[in-house]
Amino acid sequence: MISLDEARSFVLGGCEPGPAVTLPLADALGLVTAQGAVADEAVPPFANTAMDGFAVRAADTAAAPVTLRVAGTVRAGMSGADSPVGPGEAVRIMTGAPVPPGADAIVMVELTEAAADGSTVVVREAVPEGNHIRPAGDDVVAGDRVLEPGTVLTPGHLGLLATVGLRQVDVVRPPRVGVISTGDELVDDGSPLAPGQIRDSNRLTLRSLVAESGFEAVDLGLVRDDEAAIEAAMRHGADTCDALVTSGGVSMGDFDFVKVVLDRIGDMRWMQISIKPAKPLAFGTISRADGTRVPVFGLPGNPVSSMVSFELFCRPGLRRMAGHAAGDLDRATVVAVVDEPLRRRPDGKTHFARVACHYDEATATYRVRSAGAQGSHHMAAMAAADALAELPDGPTVEPGATVRVRLLRP
């Protein structure tokens, strides 16, 4: 067996970031920037008011309360140049409107009292120069670098790019991921089970995990145990997708059609990893006609094992292909206190127990308990789990001990 770290290093080494593409801002949420972005415009582009009120000369308010003549009105969207402020004058102004020539301060409307006919206004308090004025370039100066390469784009980032006049952004193209199931024993049409048949749940589960991770999941279908059919499906997947995910047929000693085909058309490594569940894993690449190579994740067939394997290897590999940084490939981890025994025995492996996790406000700690039966076929417990507890090799983890926990849900 090999260590978890060795297996992850091998997988991640075969998952290179994808090419850069240019996308409209509206299509780039959650993607990773391939290049930095530089502002061509200042933000704000002109000095403007942060308040509704009156644009004034600060010196005219020094002896407040004072009465000033109202010389005009400036609304957002107007130039302001047609309403200059002279000595003893004020201009009514709305939030976001440009500060008119001659004004050097804004008096908020709450500190004023306008005459009924609007011809004059009483300013009740003195204001300093610059009061409630947002200078041009106060947020961003033209030429500022507003985004670095490797930035995961949030709504705030996209808003910033739109604010400086950018309409599109260069990002790492996220992988398109094909998911395939094989096996004569699998049924996916809802028909009654014949002797020896089982439902194909892995394909739906893995497609859902791919989609939840933020990538396009492509259903490559259920393929029967036929070498030619499996090879055709694999080659089609490699030609149309950026990565392939299969489940089953990766255990040592299996003579499986998937293994036969992948050994013939791919460059695969078949691994036994010192973890439980998800000990077997296959990873490698298939070459396209153009010479590029498509990563293939061969996950174990037991449903819980395939989900755990996805979390430990497939998800971080796909995120690396999407341009995410090395420290941002996995889900969040926390240290949690064990509330009930997490049973195991020494076997040379790290166990990933399916647990229910909650945050205890009273003690400011995360706490976990078993989500149920821990067999690699026990999907009810997997569905109930919201975290994986990492149990080092050794005996049962007793209540009160702490474990590292990988959160499966926010």
Please tell me the distance from the alpha carbon of residue 247 to that of residue 205, in angstroms, as a whole number.
11
pLDDT of residue 225: 87
Whole-number Å distance between alpha carbons of 376 and 397? 19
Q: What is the pLDDT of residue 394?
A: 96
Distance CA 328, CA 351 (A): 23
Q: What are the tokens at 272? A: 């036994």
**pLDDT attached to residue 252:** 62
Task: Give CA–CA dist 351/339, Å, rounded.
Answer: 17
CA dihedral 141, 143, 148, 153 (to 10 degrees): 60
**C-alpha angle 369-306-11 in degrees, rounded to nearest 5:** 110
* Cα 124 → chain centroid: 51
pTM confidence score: 0.89
In this predicted structure, what is the pLDDT of residue 291? 87
The predicted pLDDT at position 52 comes to 97
d(C-alpha 17, C-alpha 320), whole Å: 6
Q: What is the DSSP string of 91-158?
A: EEE-TTPBPPTT--EEEEGGGEEE-TTSSEEEE-S---TTTTEE-TTSSB-TT-EEE-TTPBPPHHHH
Judge whether 273 and 279 are in contact, CB under 8 Å. Answer: yes
- 163 φ/ψ angles, rounded to the nearest 5 degrees: -60, -35
Check: CB of residue 182 under 8 Å from CB of residue 225: yes
pLDDT by position in tens, the chain (length 410)? 999 999 999 999 999 999 999 999 999 999 999 999 999 999 999 999 999 999 999 999 999 999 999 999 999 999 888 899 999 999 999 999 999 999 999 999 999 999 999 999 999 999 999 999 999 999 999 999 999 999 999 999 999 999 999 999 999 999 999 999 988 888 988 889 989 998 999 999 999 999 999 999 999 999 988 899 999 999 999 999 999 999 987 776 555 788 889 999 999 999 999 999 999 999 999 999 888 999 999 999 899 999 999 999 999 999 999 999 999 999 999 999 999 999 999 999 999 999 999 999 999 999 999 999 999 999 999 999 999 999 999 999 999 999 999 999 87
CATH numbers and ranges of domains, the chain: 4-18+174-328 (3.40.980.10), 26-43+138-172 (3.90.105.10), 48-134 (2.170.190.11), 333-407 (2.40.340.10)
Could you give the count of Cα atoms lying within 13 Å of 289 in the half-sphere of its Cβ? 5
